[in-house]
Amino acid sequence: MMQPIVDSLAVWTLPAIAAVLLHDAAQRLVASWLPAEADAPEPMPSRLPRFLRAVDPVGTVIVPIALALSGAPVFGWPRHRPFALGEDALARRRRLISALAGPVASFAAALVAAMALGAVVAASDGTMSERGMGWLVTSNLFNFILANACMTSFHLLPVPPFDMGRALSALLPVPARQRLRLAGRLVVLAVIATVVAIPLLDPHARVGEWIAAPMINAITRFVLGLVNLTV
Protein backbone atom coordinates (compact mmCIF):
# COMPACT_ATOMS: atom_id res chain seq x y z
CA MET A 1 0.00 0.00 0.00
CA MET A 2 2.81 2.37 0.92
CA GLN A 3 5.19 1.34 -1.87
CA PRO A 4 3.66 3.53 -4.62
CA ILE A 5 3.89 6.56 -2.30
CA VAL A 6 7.50 5.74 -1.43
CA ASP A 7 8.36 5.32 -5.11
CA SER A 8 6.70 8.63 -5.99
CA LEU A 9 8.57 10.43 -3.22
CA ALA A 10 11.84 8.88 -4.44
CA VAL A 11 11.40 10.23 -7.97
CA TRP A 12 9.65 13.55 -7.26
CA THR A 13 11.03 15.05 -4.04
CA LEU A 14 14.43 16.11 -5.37
CA PRO A 15 13.23 17.26 -8.84
CA ALA A 16 10.33 19.34 -7.48
CA ILE A 17 12.35 21.10 -4.76
CA ALA A 18 15.41 21.55 -6.99
CA ALA A 19 13.33 23.18 -9.74
CA VAL A 20 12.00 25.83 -7.33
CA LEU A 21 15.39 26.52 -5.74
CA LEU A 22 17.22 26.68 -9.07
CA HIS A 23 14.63 29.14 -10.38
CA ASP A 24 15.22 31.40 -7.38
CA ALA A 25 19.02 30.94 -7.40
CA ALA A 26 19.22 32.06 -11.03
CA GLN A 27 17.28 35.21 -10.23
CA ARG A 28 19.50 35.94 -7.22
CA LEU A 29 22.62 35.40 -9.31
CA VAL A 30 21.43 37.78 -12.02
CA ALA A 31 20.43 40.35 -9.38
CA SER A 32 23.92 40.11 -7.86
CA TRP A 33 25.42 41.08 -11.24
CA LEU A 34 23.36 44.27 -11.36
CA PRO A 35 24.30 47.52 -9.59
CA ALA A 36 23.08 47.45 -5.99
CA GLU A 37 20.72 50.04 -4.54
CA ALA A 38 22.60 52.69 -2.58
CA ASP A 39 20.38 52.36 0.51
CA ALA A 40 19.78 48.61 0.31
CA PRO A 41 19.91 46.99 3.78
CA GLU A 42 22.55 44.40 4.54
CA PRO A 43 21.22 40.83 4.45
CA MET A 44 20.62 39.16 7.80
CA PRO A 45 23.57 36.98 8.85
CA SER A 46 22.91 33.26 8.52
CA ARG A 47 24.90 30.05 8.85
CA LEU A 48 22.75 28.35 6.24
CA PRO A 49 24.10 27.94 2.68
CA ARG A 50 22.74 30.64 0.41
CA PHE A 51 20.45 28.35 -1.55
CA LEU A 52 18.84 27.02 1.65
CA ARG A 53 17.97 30.54 2.77
CA ALA A 54 15.44 30.61 -0.05
CA VAL A 55 13.52 27.60 1.26
CA ASP A 56 9.93 28.32 2.22
CA PRO A 57 8.57 25.24 4.02
CA VAL A 58 5.20 25.53 2.30
CA GLY A 59 6.03 26.98 -1.12
CA THR A 60 9.35 25.20 -1.70
CA VAL A 61 8.67 21.80 -0.13
CA ILE A 62 5.07 20.96 0.72
CA VAL A 63 3.23 22.45 -2.28
CA PRO A 64 5.52 21.17 -5.09
CA ILE A 65 5.72 17.66 -3.63
CA ALA A 66 1.96 17.51 -2.95
CA LEU A 67 1.21 18.66 -6.50
CA ALA A 68 3.66 16.14 -7.95
CA LEU A 69 2.22 13.25 -5.93
CA SER A 70 -1.32 14.19 -6.96
CA GLY A 71 -0.38 14.22 -10.64
CA ALA A 72 -1.01 17.96 -10.97
CA PRO A 73 1.35 20.41 -12.70
CA VAL A 74 4.19 21.36 -10.36
CA PHE A 75 4.90 24.90 -9.24
CA GLY A 76 6.16 26.54 -6.07
CA TRP A 77 7.80 29.62 -4.64
CA PRO A 78 10.82 30.49 -2.48
CA ARG A 79 10.95 32.59 0.65
CA HIS A 80 10.07 36.18 -0.23
CA ARG A 81 13.19 38.31 -0.59
CA PRO A 82 12.63 41.42 -2.75
CA PHE A 83 15.16 42.18 -5.47
CA ALA A 84 14.73 45.92 -4.95
CA LEU A 85 13.01 48.21 -2.47
CA GLY A 86 12.98 51.59 -4.20
CA GLU A 87 11.01 53.07 -7.08
CA ASP A 88 13.82 54.65 -9.08
CA ALA A 89 15.08 53.46 -12.46
CA LEU A 90 17.73 51.19 -10.92
CA ALA A 91 15.22 49.43 -8.67
CA ARG A 92 12.83 48.90 -11.57
CA ARG A 93 15.64 47.53 -13.73
CA ARG A 94 16.65 45.10 -10.97
CA ARG A 95 13.06 43.84 -10.68
CA LEU A 96 12.62 43.52 -14.44
CA ILE A 97 15.84 41.69 -15.28
CA SER A 98 15.82 39.37 -12.27
CA ALA A 99 12.19 38.42 -12.94
CA LEU A 100 12.91 37.56 -16.58
CA ALA A 101 15.84 35.39 -15.49
CA GLY A 102 13.50 32.91 -13.78
CA PRO A 103 11.69 31.39 -16.78
CA VAL A 104 14.91 31.46 -18.82
CA ALA A 105 16.73 29.52 -16.10
CA SER A 106 13.93 26.96 -15.74
CA PHE A 107 13.85 26.35 -19.49
CA ALA A 108 17.65 26.03 -19.56
CA ALA A 109 17.51 23.55 -16.66
CA ALA A 110 14.97 21.45 -18.56
CA LEU A 111 17.27 21.48 -21.58
CA VAL A 112 20.33 20.42 -19.57
CA ALA A 113 18.35 17.67 -17.84
CA ALA A 114 17.17 16.41 -21.24
CA MET A 115 20.76 16.23 -22.44
CA ALA A 116 21.70 14.29 -19.30
CA LEU A 117 18.75 11.95 -19.75
CA GLY A 118 19.70 11.41 -23.38
CA ALA A 119 23.25 10.51 -22.34
CA VAL A 120 22.00 8.05 -19.71
CA VAL A 121 19.60 6.40 -22.14
CA ALA A 122 22.32 6.18 -24.80
CA ALA A 123 24.63 4.51 -22.29
CA SER A 124 21.86 1.98 -21.54
CA ASP A 125 21.58 0.81 -25.15
CA GLY A 126 18.76 3.21 -25.93
CA THR A 127 16.33 2.01 -23.26
CA MET A 128 15.10 3.49 -19.99
CA SER A 129 15.55 1.20 -17.00
CA GLU A 130 12.38 0.07 -15.26
CA ARG A 131 13.93 -0.85 -11.91
CA GLY A 132 16.95 -0.33 -9.69
CA MET A 133 19.32 2.62 -9.74
CA GLY A 134 18.89 3.16 -13.47
CA TRP A 135 15.15 3.65 -13.02
CA LEU A 136 15.75 6.04 -10.12
CA VAL A 137 18.20 8.17 -12.14
CA THR A 138 16.15 8.34 -15.34
CA SER A 139 12.90 8.99 -13.44
CA ASN A 140 14.45 11.84 -11.45
CA LEU A 141 15.89 13.39 -14.60
CA PHE A 142 12.61 13.10 -16.49
CA ASN A 143 10.63 14.55 -13.59
CA PHE A 144 13.16 17.39 -13.29
CA ILE A 145 12.41 18.19 -16.93
CA LEU A 146 8.68 18.17 -16.19
CA ALA A 147 9.07 20.29 -13.05
CA ASN A 148 11.07 22.92 -14.93
CA ALA A 149 8.62 22.87 -17.82
CA CYS A 150 5.86 23.55 -15.29
CA MET A 151 7.83 26.35 -13.63
CA THR A 152 8.52 27.93 -17.02
CA SER A 153 4.86 27.73 -18.05
CA PHE A 154 3.37 29.16 -14.86
CA HIS A 155 5.90 31.97 -14.60
CA LEU A 156 5.00 33.14 -18.11
CA LEU A 157 1.59 34.19 -16.79
CA PRO A 158 1.54 38.01 -17.03
CA VAL A 159 0.36 38.72 -13.46
CA PRO A 160 2.24 38.85 -10.14
CA PRO A 161 3.49 36.89 -8.29
CA PHE A 162 4.55 35.00 -11.42
CA ASP A 163 7.75 36.25 -13.01
CA MET A 164 6.31 37.68 -16.20
CA GLY A 165 3.80 39.61 -14.11
CA ARG A 166 6.56 40.95 -11.88
CA ALA A 167 8.51 41.98 -14.97
CA LEU A 168 5.45 43.78 -16.31
CA SER A 169 4.79 45.48 -12.97
CA ALA A 170 8.36 46.84 -12.97
CA LEU A 171 7.41 48.87 -16.06
CA LEU A 172 4.17 50.26 -14.62
CA PRO A 173 3.50 53.23 -12.34
CA VAL A 174 2.59 52.40 -8.76
CA PRO A 175 -1.24 52.71 -9.12
CA ALA A 176 -1.32 50.41 -12.17
CA ARG A 177 1.06 48.01 -10.41
CA GLN A 178 -1.30 47.76 -7.44
CA ARG A 179 -4.21 46.92 -9.74
CA LEU A 180 -2.08 44.29 -11.47
CA ARG A 181 -1.20 42.74 -8.11
CA LEU A 182 -4.88 42.54 -7.23
CA ALA A 183 -5.55 40.78 -10.52
CA GLY A 184 -2.61 38.49 -9.73
CA ARG A 185 -4.16 37.41 -6.43
CA LEU A 186 -7.33 36.44 -8.27
CA VAL A 187 -5.33 34.50 -10.86
CA VAL A 188 -3.40 32.65 -8.13
CA LEU A 189 -6.69 31.68 -6.49
CA ALA A 190 -7.95 30.48 -9.86
CA VAL A 191 -4.75 28.46 -10.42
CA ILE A 192 -5.05 26.85 -6.99
CA ALA A 193 -8.70 26.06 -7.62
CA THR A 194 -8.13 24.48 -11.04
CA VAL A 195 -4.87 22.68 -10.24
CA VAL A 196 -5.50 21.60 -6.63
CA ALA A 197 -9.00 22.11 -5.22
CA ILE A 198 -11.14 20.83 -8.10
CA PRO A 199 -9.12 17.59 -8.60
CA LEU A 200 -9.36 16.92 -4.84
CA LEU A 201 -13.15 17.22 -4.98
CA ASP A 202 -13.43 15.29 -8.23
CA PRO A 203 -10.36 13.21 -9.23
CA HIS A 204 -11.73 12.89 -12.76
CA ALA A 205 -11.83 16.67 -13.24
CA ARG A 206 -8.53 17.68 -14.80
CA VAL A 207 -9.27 21.34 -15.51
CA GLY A 208 -5.75 22.37 -14.49
CA GLU A 209 -4.22 19.92 -16.93
CA TRP A 210 -6.35 21.25 -19.79
CA ILE A 211 -5.11 24.77 -19.05
CA ALA A 212 -1.44 24.09 -18.27
CA ALA A 213 -0.74 20.94 -20.26
CA PRO A 214 -0.32 22.44 -23.77
CA MET A 215 2.62 24.68 -22.80
CA ILE A 216 4.17 22.09 -20.44
CA ASN A 217 3.92 19.36 -23.07
CA ALA A 218 5.33 21.65 -25.77
CA ILE A 219 8.42 22.48 -23.67
CA THR A 220 8.91 18.85 -22.64
CA ARG A 221 8.62 17.52 -26.19
CA PHE A 222 10.91 20.23 -27.52
CA VAL A 223 13.81 19.59 -25.12
CA LEU A 224 13.46 15.81 -25.41
CA GLY A 225 13.25 16.05 -29.19
CA LEU A 226 16.64 17.76 -29.25
CA VAL A 227 18.18 14.54 -27.89
CA ASN A 228 15.98 12.22 -29.99
CA LEU A 229 13.74 11.16 -27.10
CA THR A 230 9.94 11.06 -27.24
CA VAL A 231 7.14 10.95 -24.66
pLDDT for 78-105, tens place per residue?
Answer: 776 667 777 778 888 888 898 899 999 9
Q: Which residues contact 86 (CB under 8 A, 6 or more apart)?
A: 37, 39
| pLDDT tens by residue, 172-207 | 887 887 788 777 778 777 776 666 665 555 555 555
Q: What is the mean pLDDT of the chain?
A: 80
Q: Is the pLDDT of residue 125 over 80?
A: no
Residue of 213 and 51 predicted with greater confidence: 213
**What is the pTM (predicted TM-score) of this model?**
0.84
Q: Which of 1-10, 35-44, 117-126, 214-223 has the lowest mean pLDDT?
A: 35-44
Distance from C-alpha of 27 to C-alpha of 99, rounded to nearest angstrom? 7
**Residues 39 and 103 sit within 8 Å (Cβ to Cβ):** no
pLDDT at 204: 58
Distance from C-alpha of 219 to C-alpha of 231, rounded to nearest angstrom? 12
pLDDT at 187: 75
Q: Is the pLDDT of residue 150 over 70?
A: yes
Give the pLDDT mean for 119-142: 83
**Residues 174 and 87 sit within 8 Å (Cβ to Cβ):** yes
In 3D, which of 224, 1, 29, 3 has the Cα closest to residue 131? 3
Distance from C-alpha of 183 to C-alpha of 200, rounded to nearest angstrom? 25
Distance from C-alpha of 58 to C-alpha of 197, rounded to nearest angstrom? 16
Q: Is the pLDDT of residue 25 over 80?
A: yes
